[in-house]
Structure 1
Amino acid sequence: MYRLIFLTLVLSISANAQQNEFITDYLERLENSRKYLILVAETMPEDKYNFKATPESMSFAENLMHIGWAMDWHCQSLLGDREARDWNTDTELKVDEKSKKEMIATIDKTFDKTIEFITKFDITKLKDRLDYLGLNRTKRQILLLLTDHITHHRGQMLVYMRLNGLKPPRYILYQ
């Protein structure tokens, strides 16, 4: 009986340590993602922020602000308890009339809020499941989906830089 209790306790401690390690690794990766995204945003000239690869594509600026919107929605609304922003009326995380400097400051602030949320996240809930746009996903998977989403839109921004004859910053330093 004591062996079973001891084994259960050891496995529980080990699982929590692994989940905590996941959060630590995740936060390091997210911070590096922030640094690289801001460098990309700073490198693109402001007069190119409205550039679109095709008429139906998001502009460089819209991709940048969409990343902020996704961080806010994934963490504050989906994983947190806050009601989602109304895309039609909320302008905090939209391009709106923001300058390049204002957009970069908004993204930086959104990273701060996201990192603060994840730092305080209850790691015992990483295995909890919820509906993610019709898919059944764990909260751990949702955090990973968020980083994929950031990378996806940042990748579009890098292509926009190349299409405008600019050389994107080296990624290797931000891994």
Structure 2
Amino acid sequence: MNGKEAADIVRREHKYLCNILKSFVPQHGEFSPCPGMMTTAQQINHIAQTVVWFREGAFGRGFNLDFEKIEGANPRTVTLKEALAELEKQYTSYIDFLERLSDTDLQAPMPENPIFGAAPRLAVLAAQSDHTAHHRGALCVYLRLLGIIPAMVYQE
């Protein structure tokens, strides 16, 4: 797999997520199914932060496992517009980064870590996709609770 192919995987993941996100309107950003759960905007912001986490984990300094600190970085108050802008910024940056990589770069082992061991860097693509799909599903439930039927994820 080369960088363009890796970027296409992440681009498709982003597209599927955006197919769901387009059903939200600004006032939905503050929606939370029950006290203590993330709002719609926080869910989206969390996905953006995790894109950075996977990128840094595989291609940077390694995985930051201080999850309390990471969660503390997810602002308690974030608007839908801000969260969507952050999501777009992080996916665009990651896709641009991946496009410049060679197959050798993607096959190189990740920095030592307890999550993936010595797996090749490209292994994060599937893990990130799983994480995003998990939150995409949660956001579909949020839409249903708001009385909105989610769009078909895989539509063009």
Q: TM-score, normalised by structure 2?
A: 0.77
Partner of residue 52, structure 1: 32
CA distance in 2, matches of 1:28, 1:129: 21
Give me the identity figure in percent.
21
Moved segments of 4+, more than 6 Å: none
1:146 aligns with 2:128: yes
CA distance in 2, matches of 1:127, 1:28: 19
Stretch moving more, 27-36 or 105-114: 27-36
Partner of residue 58, structure 2: 79
Stretch moving more, 107-116 or 30-39: 30-39
Specify which structure has the higher proportion of strand: 1
CA distance in 2, matches of 1:131, 1:54: 38
CA distance in 2, matches of 1:158, 1:34: 15
Measure how far apart 1:88 and its partner are: 6.8
Q: TM-score, normalised by structure 1?
A: 0.70
Alpha carbons of structure 1 residues 148 and 58: separation in structure 2 relative to 1, 3 Å: same
SS at match of 1:43: coil
Q: What are structure 1's unaligned runs of at least 5 residues?
A: 1-18
Over the residues paired in the alignment, what is the CA RMSD in angstroms? Answer: 2.7
Q: Which has the larger radius of gyration?
A: 1
CA distance in 2, matches of 1:131, 1:24: 25
CA contact (8 A) 2:19 2:151 kept: yes
Partner of residue 110, structure 1: 90
Select the structure with the greater relative contact order (CA < 8 A; seq sep ≥ 6). 2
